[in-house]
Amino acid sequence: MSDALAAALQQLKSVFGYDHFRGQQAEIIGQLLAGGDALVLMPTGGGKSLCYQLPALLREGTAIVVSPLIALMQDQVSALQQLGVRAACLNSSLSADAAREAEQALLAGTIDLLYVAPERLLTGRFMDLLQRSRLALFAIDEAHCVSQWGHDFRPEYRELACLHERWPEVPRIALTATADAPTRQEIIEQLALQSARQYISSFDRPNIDYQIELKHDGRRQLLAYLREHTGECGIIYALSRKRVDETAALLQVEGFPALPYHAGLDAATRAQHQERFLREDGIIMVATIAFGMGIDKPDVRFVAHLDLPRSLEGYYQETGRAGRDGEPAQAWMLYGLADVVGQRRLIDGSESGEARKRIERSKLDALLGFCESLQCRRVSLLAYFGETYPGACGRCDNCRQPPQSWDATEAAQMALSCVWRTGQRFGVSHLIDVLLGKTSERVEQLGHDRLTTFGIGSALDAQRWRSVFRQLVASGYLCTDLEGYGGLRLSESARPLLRGEQPLRLRLDPPRQSRGRQRRTPSATAPIDLSTEQQRLFEALRAMRARLAGEQSVPAYVIFHDSTLREIALNPPASLGDLADISGVGSGKLERYGQAVLETLQDVL
Ligand code: ADP
Ligand code: ZN
């Protein structure tokens, strides 16, 4: 091991309280210490921050960390200060005095890390300040914000290449948890990282359990889900502001600690809700995708999707906010016919140009393929990011209850021909009425009871037909009408199916009743392996943590993570020396809280 890495390992233990580097951390840190650039693609919770925080401590001068999330900077700085690291931030929410103080510290070289918003960084005044300071490195966090196609696009990020032009000798590290190849390419080009070494980790999140449930009564299903997860901190994503407000209100009435979050709320309310989510235990945030980027709350136990996300990347990003601490967490999604038809229509009917629509369609196809897949969710999710996961994971719905498929060649033919004969303009409910031979007023009025397809589908029930139509739309054999009435028409790819030239197997949806009663995975929060005695200790330590956090008004997790408290409860240390051996207890934490931990233990034991 090189001297530089030995020094890094020593700091890892003494400052952060960890014994080993994770994944590629050591290589990345080595690269920066040697003065090279790095592009780091690592999943959420993989340990990206350490990759620049450690070099920031070891290299002379101050590390400049570009972060798009003003609201969260202070928490990041608080977390570092808790470790005894000299850090500050600079953004528009700071008072003039506080800003001046941070600038002085930068000039004097008395801080190791300075977090700064991109728009602040790019001002002439700040550039000038940098010119007069000693710089350890530039870290560009959430680097995918340069991507024009992504929903986190930040135009200022595109100007960050100027850092390299002005300070070519200062090493740069760009980091993101967004995995796809086009975004990666955009980052390299826009940030001039052509000569940077790339560090691409596996994107697997082994502690996340993936579950997709067919949607039939969303509200009831959500309530049932939450009742099995009481006390857990979670995020619920919904498509629209209205759905967010309605859902949050419903949950509040039902007694859950739920808060809404979307771009339609005023800034003060948003900030307050985010603050409560970060600081209090067990809050459920009901949100649009406006919420979440950079939320590094480690103990989010579940992420629920009430509606289809926009893409598989979106799904991965959003679910990735669960379980950053490495403890068991769940990604739960409701999915149904209306989602499929709605999303298809949204794209087809949008004002975007053809090129953009094509991209969006193929992204949606990938997502729908994932939802309808018969194989392990983890395998299909990682395959989308070009990764091969060996075998089946055992921690997803498809692994637990492998779905069956059935030969739907004939059924598909009937469904498609019914669409054709009714003139390609009716929605699923009407089509099913015709297939089942139901004589409604509408059917008679339209003369659809005289069609050859009238009643030919009576061997299957309505639920099965919905499943057939959902999968035909999901796989693109049927497309939605542009007028937005939910009518379906045949696509080019439907012809061979319609003529019976191509066999088709479909997923056999589980019957509803058994779904409802199906045993879910055990609740994730309560550490399973603690005895009653240890559980009491753990609760006492959590109460202590809440008190300490309250006194300093910082989030509880910057004091100690649950995993650290759990380890303490499992092996109660008798002395400060023993406590220092516990993962997550560095010298800063030991000095600040060591005594409080020992006293809490004495009180309970
Ligand atoms: P990311 O930014 O990649 O999402 P973080 O940097 O927030 O991840 O790290 C996730 C969690 O893992 C943090 O709680 C961090 O303290 C912890 N962690 C990082 N590196 C290590 C390590 N080498 N050993 C143990 N825990 C680590
Ligand atoms: Zn699986």
The response to whether residue 560 sits with its C-beta less than 6 Å from ligand 1 reads no
Q: Of the bound ligands, which one is closest to the alpha carbon of residue 210?
A: 2
What is the Å distance from ligand 2's center to 348 Cα? Answer: 32
DSSP for 409-456 reads HHHHHHHHHHHHHTTS---HHHHHHHHHT---HHHHHHTGGGSTTTTT
Strands 505-508, 404-407: pairing is antiparallel
Residue nearest to atom 9 of ligand 1 (CA): 47
The per-residue pLDDT for 293 is 79
Residue nearest to atom 20 of ligand 1 (CA): 47
Atom of ligand 1 nearest to the CA of 298: 14
What is the Å distance from ligand 2's center to 208 Cα? Answer: 10
Residue nearest to atom 5 of ligand 1 (CA): 47
By most ligand atoms within 8 Å of CB, the mutation choice from 9, 49, 76 for ligand 1 is 49
Residues with CB under 5 A from ligand 2 (ion): 376, 378, 392-393, 396, 399
The response to whether residue 13 sits with its C-beta less than 6 Å from ligand 1 reads no
The answer to whether 106 and 114 have CB atoms below 8 angstroms apart is yes
The per-residue pLDDT for 483 is 66
What are 231's two structure tokens? 């006390």
Distance CA 425, CA 583 (A): 62
The per-residue pLDDT for 470 is 92
What is the Å distance from ligand 1's center to 25 Cα? Answer: 10
Q: Which residues contact 200 (CB under 8 A, 6 or more apart)?
A: 41
Q: Which residues of 553-566 are buried (b: 16+ CB within 10 A; e: fewer)?
A: ebbbbbbbbbbbbb
For the stretch 185-242, pLDDT in tens is 999 999 999 999 999 999 999 999 999 999 999 999 999 999 999 989 999 999 999 9
The answer to whether 15 and 57 have CB atoms below 8 angstroms apart is yes
What is the Å distance from ligand 2's center to 313 Cα? Answer: 18
The response to whether residue 320 sits with its C-beta less than 6 Å from ligand 1 reads no
Distance CA 199, CA 25 (A): 9
The response to whether residue 44 sits with its C-beta less than 6 Å from ligand 1 reads yes
Atom of ligand 1 nearest to the CA of 48: 3
What is the Å distance from ligand 1's center to 22 Cα? Answer: 8
C-alpha distances in Å from residue 92, one per residue of 96, 133, 261, 542 = 9, 21, 22, 34
Atom of ligand 1 nearest to the CA of 296: 7
Q: Is 293 helix (H, G, I), strand (E, B) or coil?
A: coil
Distance CA 455, CA 432 (A): 9
The per-residue pLDDT for 513 is 54
From 486, 507, 209, select the one nearest 368 (Cα to Cα): 507
Which ranges of the chain have pLDDT less than 70?
1, 179, 482-484, 513-528
The residue type found at 289 is: I
Distance CA 513, CA 515 (A): 5
Half-sphere exposure of 592 (CA within 13 A, CB side): 19
The response to whether residue 598 sits with its C-beta less than 6 Å from ligand 1 reads no
Q: Which residues contact 89 (CB under 8 A, 6 or more apart)?
A: 73, 74, 76, 77, 102, 114, 115, 116
The per-residue pLDDT for 179 is 63
| E strand map for 459-570 | 478-480, 488-490, 505-508
DSSP for 557-603 reads GGT--HHHHHHHHHS--SSHHHHHTSTT--HHHHHHHHHHHHHHHHH
Residue nearest to atom 26 of ligand 1 (CA): 18
The response to whether residue 40 sits with its C-beta less than 6 Å from ligand 1 reads no
DSSP 521: P
The per-residue pLDDT for 519 is 47
Residue nearest to atom 18 of ligand 1 (CA): 47
